[in-house]
C-alpha cells in the first residue's frame, strides 16, 4: 500500500513536471514575443497559465499521496521539502494572479520550479522512511511549512525584481533613443510598478520568515536545549532575514530605491536557494535532515 502510493506520487510528480515544461515554453514565447504578435502570444499566455493550474493540481496530488504513504507531512527530507516548496512557489504565483495580473512572471516561476523539481527527483530522491525522533514534533508542521511559504513569496518577489531590472534597462534605452532587444517587455508594467509588486510580496515573505525564525528558535529550545546556537542553518536563516530587512529599509532610503533594492531582492533569494541546496548538502550542522 505504502509502496504503491509513493510510486503513484512519483508518477504524479513527473506528470506535473511535464505539464510545467510546456507551460514554461509557452510563457517564454509570450514574454519574448514582440508586441506586433501580441494576439498570438496572449493566447499562449492564457494556455500556459491554465497548464500551470493543471501542473499544480498534479503536484498537489503527488504531495498528498507522499504524505499519506509516509503517515506524516510531506516535508521531512530534502526531496519532500523540494516537492512541497515548489508546490508552494507555484501556489503563491497562482494565488497572486487571482488578485493582480502577474502572468508574465510565469516563465520565471515555472522555470525555477522545473529546475528544483528536476534536481529533487533525480538527485535527492529517497524512499519513505519513518521520522527520526528529533523531527517528531508538531513544530515540523508549523516551522517548515511557514518557511516554505516565505520562500514562495520571496521567489515571486525575486522574479519581479529581475523583470524590474530588465524593464529599467529597456526604459533607459528607450529614453536615450537607443535600440534594445527587450521589446517584449513593452506589454509589462513599468519598472516602478514592478518594484511595488515585488515589495508587497516580499514584505509578506519577510513576515513569514520572521515567524520561521521564532518558531525555529522555540523548537530548537525543545529539541536541542537552546533557542539559538549559530548552527549553519540558523546562520543562513539569519543572513537571509538581515538581507531582506535591508531590502525593506532600502525603500525608505534615498538612492536605494529602484536598481539597488532590486539587487538586494535578488541577492536575498539567491541566499534562500543557497541555504536550501548548498548548505543542506555540504555544510555540517544540526539541520542534517536531507535524508541523503
Residues that bind another protein (CB under 8 A): 2, 127-134, 136-137, 196, 199-200, 203, 206-207, 210-211, 213-214, 217-218, 221-232, 235-236, 238-239, 242-243, 245-246, 248-256, 279, 283-286
Q: Toward another protein, which CB reaches closer, 44 or 206?
A: 206
Closest listed residue to residue 155, CA positions, set 219, 217, 201: 201
Task: Please state the closest distance from residue 86 (CB atom) to another protein, in A.
Answer: 24
For residues 23 and 266, which CB has a smaller minimum distance to another protein in the complex? 266
**What's the closest the beta carbon of residue 241 comes to another protein, in angstroms?**
9
Dihedral angle computed from the Cα positions of residues 189, 193, 198 and 199, in that order, rounded to the nearest 10 degrees: -170
Which residue carries 502570444 as its cell? 41
Question: With respect to another protein, which residue has the nearer C-beta, 81 or 247?
Answer: 247
Q: Name the DSSP class of 132.
A: P
User: Judged by CB, which is closer to another protein: 39, or 99?
Assistant: 99
At residue 98, φ and ψ (nearest 5 deg) are -75, -25
Give SS3 for 260.
helix
**CA-CA distance, 44 to 273, in Å (whole number)?**
29
Cα–Cα distances (Å) from 134 to 130, 225, 286, in that order, read 11, 12, 10
CB of 246 to another protein, least distance (A): 4
Least distance in Å: CB of 227 to another protein?
6
Amino acid at each position: 500500500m505504502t509502496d504503491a502510493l509513493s510510486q503513484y506520487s512519483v508518477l504524479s510528480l513527473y506528470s506535473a513536471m511535464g505539464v510545467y515544461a510546456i507551460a514554461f515554453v509557452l510563457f517564454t514565447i509570450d514574454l519574448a514575443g514582440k508586441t506586433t504578435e501580441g494576439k498570438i502570444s496572449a493566447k499562449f499566455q492564457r494556455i500556459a497559465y491554465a497548464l500551470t493550474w493543471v501542473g499544480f493540481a498534479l503536484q498537489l496530488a503527488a504531495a498528498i499521496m507522499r504524505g499519506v504513504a509516509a503517515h506524516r507531512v510531506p516535508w521531512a527530507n530534502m526531496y519532500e521539502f523540494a516537492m512541497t516548496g515548489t508546490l508552494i512557489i507555484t501556489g503563491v504565483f497562482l494565488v497572486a494572479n487571482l488578485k493582480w495580473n502577474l502572468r508574465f512572471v510565469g516563465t520565471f516561476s515555472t522555470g525555477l520550479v522545473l529546475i528544483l523539481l528536476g534536481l529533487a527527483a533525480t538527485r535527492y530522491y529517497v524512499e519513505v522512511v519513518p521520522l527520526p525522533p528529533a523531527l517528531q514534533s508538531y513544530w515540523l508542521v508549523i516551522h517548515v511549512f511557514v518557511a516554505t511559504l516565505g520562500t514562495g513569496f520571496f521567489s515571486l518577489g525575486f522574479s519581479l525584481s529581475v523583470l524590474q531590472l530588465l524593464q529599467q534597462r529597456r526604459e533607459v534605452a528607450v529614453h536615450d533613443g537607443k535600440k534594445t532587444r527587450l521589446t517584449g517587455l513593452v506589454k509589462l508594467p513599468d519598472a516602478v510598478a514592478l518594484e511595488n509588486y515585488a515589495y508587497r510580496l516580499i514584505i509578506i515573505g519577510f513576515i513569514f520568515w520572521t515567524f520561521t525564525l521564532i518558531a525555529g528558535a522555540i523548537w530548537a529550545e525543545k529539541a536541542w536545549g537552546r533557542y539559538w546556537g549559530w548552527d549553519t542553518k540558523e546562520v543562513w536563516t539569519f543572513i537571509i532575514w538581515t538581507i531582506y530587512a535591508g531590502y525593506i529599509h532600502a525603500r525608505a532610503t534615498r538612492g536605494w530605491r529602484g536598481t539597488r533594492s532590486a539587487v538586494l531582492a535578488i541577492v536575498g533569494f539567491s541566499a534562500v536557494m543557497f541555504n536550501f541546496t548548498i548548505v543542506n548538502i555540504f555544510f555540517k550542522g544540526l539541520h542534517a535532515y536531507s535524508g541523503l
